[in-house]
Amino acid sequence: MTDRMETAREIEALLFAAAGPLTDADLAKRLPEGADIAGALGELAERYQGRGVVLAQVAGGWRFQTAEDLAWLMTEERDEPRRLSKAAQETLAIIAYHQPVTRAEIEAVRGVQASRGTLDVLLELGLVRMRGRRRTPGRPVTYGTTDAFLEHYGLASLSDLPGLAEMKAAGLLSMDLPPDFAVPDPNLAQADEDPLEATDAPEFHVDFLAEE
Amino acid sequence: MTDRMETAREIEALLFAAAGPLTDADLAKRLPEGADIAGALGELAERYQGRGVVLAQVAGGWRFQTAEDLAWLMTEERDEPRRLSKAAQETLAIIAYHQPVTRAEIEAVRGVQASRGTLDVLLELGLVRMRGRRRTPGRPVTYGTTDAFLEHYGLASLSDLPGLAEMKAAGLLSMDLPPDFAVPDPNLAQADEDPLEATDAPEFHVDFLAEE
Amino acid sequence: MSNPFQPSLDFDAAATAAEDGEALIIDVDGYEGPLHVLLALARTQKVDLLKLSVLKLAEQYLAFVHEARRRRFSLAADYLVMAAWLAYLKSRLLLPKPDRPKAEEPPAEEMAARLAFRLAKLEAMRVASEALRTGPQLGREVFVRGDPEAIRVIPSGRIEGDLYALMDAYIGQRRKEASRHYQPAAPQAYPLEDARDRLRRLLPDLERWTPLAGVAPLGSPAAGPSRASYVASTLSASLELIKEGALEARQLEAFADIYLRARKGEARA
């Protein structure tokens, strides 16, 4: 057996037995020195491609998980997930995309005061954490997401948030009107204007702004 | 993909996510009717032959387990995680907010004697340090938090420790607290302590180990 | 495609109604706030939110608020504040621009752009939250190994617990500390005046030597002054009456029972 195959076996066993995602560093610490971890991981990913259990990268680490398309089989394993209220979901999204973000900023985006229970629930579930304090007057506490958030939504890192790059490009993640933000001339922007055509609209508009 | 291969995928996912071994009957109950379970199990056994994870028959059921020859990888990992006990977590919280604080003061807040191990554990983990001696009779040693503490909790400085307002915002404060309830700001802590002297260190060890 | 966010709103109906100036069929409770209403209305324009006609939006919103107030008199202040602001913005957009704009106010176009930006932002967040919600989630679509008994490898040796847990641990203890504080109920005493009055009333019945313990009220163990307080106050009162000459007392030896008796001739007085 080649060294790489042996390393793949070892990683397979470790990930299988792990209580949470293992990072490359976690693996390196446990495997014999000089093991080709990246190569072995690639081999494993390929081997499990299309299987009932697949290799996934979440929260900066690796884990095995059941294939998405087999969710229908897992009726017994499914614990009734605590359903987040719409407000909590929206708040979670704002924190995820804008972190570090203060409570006041969350409220500014939503246009309503954060009701009691919204942030609490997210903190309690461990999806959100307090990150620090903004260096502005009043030094408000800032919030961000946790590794548990990434693990729950199966994201390798924060940059894998759906649509993040497009939103950033459109300036939508800044808190204030970006300087290059297109200011529509209300005298021109009448009802007779044409919607953006598919060809000149970046993907972002299709995905995140356009009327469905 | 053949039916048998699809069944193998499904069994793979079921065994992986199950809380214990599954019997043929368990599998039959959860798979679509008419699935060739025996055939699919044979295929899986073959597929996992010699891998880091193998299919095993135990207690009349089937389960995946790590290969026996890789036990050396696992044994080391049986260590308990560095999970702070409830007492340690509570003691740490009091030290963080009330520092510099003496052991007697910690006990006064907690309402119980600090057990020998609790402070030791925190000192050993490097989350807590001795700061000095209080200028009161008996000159008791005072405790405070370390830089490692700040790092672990993602705080730039002690003044970033969330105060009463943030606790309220996080829903931690309930109505049953007295109206004059206050949380000390460790940054404004009084300076009625002397720095530890060189001679204090050995004395401490004696004091610490020969504790009642 | 049906809208996942605002099931109670019929967009087409709202759009037509706004154009016709007819009644909007809108349930205010379906929204979290004015911004969410504006977003729903903005979608009826079927354009990129950044190219929105703010003027039209303002009209739609004002119609919405008008109708909502007609149907239900009370409307949250937020909605009215937004209505006032939009009415102001609308007037500024429509009026010819002054040659010299007032320095302290941003141009109306910028105000409109800010609003469009906020709506675009909120919309992006709603779509993002929906994308997260409908994507595969742990414990719902995908599952990790379920066997809790087998060997478990714990990722990295880092210490568990976050700031929230720390605050929680702290507050939990302070709360316990607060509830631990000893608050003794102030003892209730049997007033001397009451004892005196009672003893005076009892004088006719004290023709014979009667033990003090029998004279003092028994009291109740549940509430009111303690038995000791009754006895003590009765003794004090009896000493006063002795001084007045209405009562006499005797005690055969130290620690023996004290006996009381009305003085002859005084009992009937």
| Residue C165 forms contact with A (CB below 8 Å) | no
φ, ψ (nearest 5 deg) of residue B90: -70, -45
Work out the average pLDDT over A22-48: 90
DSSP C6: -
More confident residue, A98 or A83: A98
- Tokens coding C134: 């409908």
Best mutation site among B89, B123, B160 for testing chain C: the one with the most C CBs within 10 Å?
B89
- CB of B77 within 8 A of CB of C153? yes
SS (H, E, C) B12-63: HHHHHHCCCCECHHHHHHHCCCCCCHHHHHHHHHHHHCCCCEEEEEECCEEE
For residue B79, pLDDT over 50 is answered with no
The confidence score (pLDDT) of residue B14 equals 93
| Neighbour subunits, B (≥3 Cβ pairs < 8 A) | A, C
Q: pLDDT, tens digit, for every residue of B165-211?
A: 777 777 777 656 666 777 777 776 666 777 776 555 433 433 343 33
pTM score above 0.80:
no
Best mutation site among A2, A6, A11, A14 for testing chain B: the one with the most B CBs within 10 Å?
A14
What's the mean per-residue pLDDT of chain B? 79
For residue B35, pLDDT over 90 is answered with no
Residue B113 to residue B107: CA distance in whole angstroms: 5
| Neighbour subunits, C (≥3 Cβ pairs < 8 A) | A, B
CA distance A3 to chain B (A): 13
Q: Which residue ranges form the domains of chain A, and what is each CATH number? A: 2-74 (1.10.10.10), 86-211 (1.10.10.10)
Cβ-Cβ contacts under 8 Å, B82 against chain C: 157-160
Work out the average pLDDT over A26-55: 91
Which among B17, B50, B74 has CB closest to A74? B17
The confidence score (pLDDT) of residue A195 equals 36
Residue A196 to residue A92: CA distance in whole angstroms: 30
Residue C113 to residue A83: CA distance in whole angstroms: 35
B34's CB contacts (< 8 A; 6+ apart) are: none
Among C201, C67, C54, which Cα is nearest to C116's? C54
More confident residue, C147 or B105: B105
Work out the average pLDDT over A193-198: 36
Work out the average pLDDT over A184-211: 36
Please state whether beta strands B128-134 and B141-145 pair in parallel, antiparallel, or not at all (unpaired).
Answer: antiparallel
CA distance B197 to chain C (A): 31
The confidence score (pLDDT) of residue C158 equals 53
What's the mean per-residue pLDDT of chain C? 76
- Tokens coding A59: 């929260």
SS (H, E, C) chain A: CCHHHHHHHHHHHHHHHECCCECHHHHHHHCCCCCCHHHHHHHHHHHHCCCCEEEEEECCEEEEEECHHHHHHCCCCCCCCCCCCHHHHHHHHHHHHHCCEEHHHHHHHHCCCCCCCHHHHHHHCCCEEEEEECCCCCCCEEEEECHHHHHHHCCCCHHHCCCHHHHHHCCCCCCCCCCCCCCCCCCCCCCCCCCCCCCCCCHHHHHHHCCC
Tell me which chain A residue has its CA closest to the CA of residue B20.
A77
For residue C48, pLDDT over 80 is answered with no
The confidence score (pLDDT) of residue A49 equals 93
- Tokens coding B13: 């996912």
- CB of A52 within 8 A of CB of A66? yes
Work out the average pLDDT over C252-261: 87
More confident residue, C32 or B201: C32
Among B27, B43, B26, B44, which Cα is nearest to B35's? B27
| Neighbour subunits, A (≥3 Cβ pairs < 8 A) | B, C
Is 0.85 exceeded by the ipTM? no
Residue C133 to residue A91: CA distance in whole angstroms: 12
C206's CB contacts (< 8 A; 6+ apart) are: C215, C247, C260, C261, C262, C267
Q: Do A141 and B162 touch (CB under 8 A)?
A: yes
Q: Do A65 and C138 touch (CB under 8 A)?
A: yes
Q: Which of residues 107-126 of B touch A (CB under 8 A)?
A: none
Name the 3-class secondary structure at B96.
Answer: helix
More confident residue, A132 or A146: A146
CA distance A3 to chain C (A): 23
For residue A133, pLDDT over 50 is answered with yes
